[in-house]
Chain A
Amino acid sequence: QQQVKQSPQSLIVQKGGISIINCAYENTAFDYFPWYQQFPGKGPALLIAIRPDVSEKKEGRFTISFNKSAKQFSLHIMDSQPGDSATYFCAADRGSTLGRLYFGRGTQLTVWP
């Protein structure tokens, strides 16, 4: 059973637009929600992460919005650039299992110039 559900599977955005990727989870024991970015031929790398004690976290053009009651979180990329074209994975982790991340299936983002 998939622990973290991610949508959309692919996303095409024009340069300067806003990219939005959504994730949902069921397990209320999850307490750490990172987003990873992966470029072709490379391993995933941590982009930004949030814990459930806050509803939003912003780092530059990247923002995570977190809705604890709905068990949903999303990644917003403002002013999307061609260099943002990559695959994005959301993930979730339980407090008792450090590093045992459950990943979503990924979103392939393409930003057209």
Chain B
Amino acid sequence: NAGVTQTPKFQVLKTGQSMTLQCAQDMNHNSMYWYRQDPGMGLRLIYYSASEGTTDKGEVPNGYNVSRLNKREFSLRLESAAPSQTSVYFCASSSQDRLAGELFFGEGSRLTVL
């Protein structure tokens, strides 16, 4: 089982460039999330989508946009990259079974902005 797949795994950008991180899940989950992980900061929620057609801001949404393309896919876009966006980005998904509560994470996309 693939689970949650993220592309690309690595990317180097120059300040001001744009790019889109792609995420797809094959577990038929309703909810999908984008987190960023920085050293000593843990994981911080950027945006999430509780179901197809809806998106909401998380803790650190500034500088990002998202698109829930369909039930499987959730993309994260940086319109004008800044060095402060150098981070490891994780996509995750979960079912809406309240008793389950488990997030399934991809392996991450490592972004460097010069």
Please give the residue numbers on chain A whose beta carbons come within 8 Å of chain B beta carbons, in ascending order.
Answer: 6, 9, 32, 34, 36, 41-46, 49, 89, 93, 95, 98-101, 103-106
Interface membership of B2, Cβ < 8 A: no
23 contacts between A and B (CB under 8 A): A6-B42, A34-B101, A34-B102, A41-B107, A43-B106, A43-B107, A44-B43, A44-B105, A49-B101, A49-B102, A98-B31, A98-B94, A98-B98, A99-B31, A99-B48, A99-B50, A100-B58, A103-B44, A104-B42, A105-B41, A105-B42, A106-B40, A106-B42
Q: Are A103 and B42 in contact (CB under 8 A)?
A: yes
Interface membership of B33, Cβ < 8 A: yes
Known A-B contacts A98-B94, A99-B33; the reply to A46 vs B102 at CB < 8 A is yes
Of A41, A44, A98, A105, which contacts B101 at CB under 8 A?
A98
A58 to chain B, nearest CB (A): 18
Name the residue of chain B whose CB is nearest to the CB of A6. B42
Interface membership of B4, Cβ < 8 A: yes
> How extensive is the interface on chain B, given as a class?
20 to 34
How far apart are the CA atoms of A49 and B98 in the complex, in Å? 13
How far apart are the CA atoms of A101 and B42 in the complex, in Å? 11
Q: Could you tell me which residues of chain B, from 70 to 97, have a CB within 8 Å of some CB in chain A? A: 90, 92, 94, 96
Write out the residue numbers on chain B whose beta carbons fall within 8 Å of the beta carbon of A49.
101-102
Of B42, B45, B90, which contacts A100 at CB under 8 A?
B45
Q: Are B107 and A42 in contact (CB under 8 A)?
A: yes
B105 to chain A, nearest CB (A): 3
Query: Known contacts A34-B101, A41-B107, A104-B42; can you find 9 more A-B pairs with CB under 8 A?
Result: A42-B107, A42-B108, A44-B105, A89-B43, A98-B96, A99-B50, A99-B94, A99-B103, A105-B41
Write out the residue numbers on chain B whose beta carbons fall within 8 Å of the beta carbon of A106.
40, 42
How far apart are the CA atoms of A62 and B1 in the complex, in Å? 26
How far apart are the CA atoms of A34 and B48 in the complex, in Å? 19
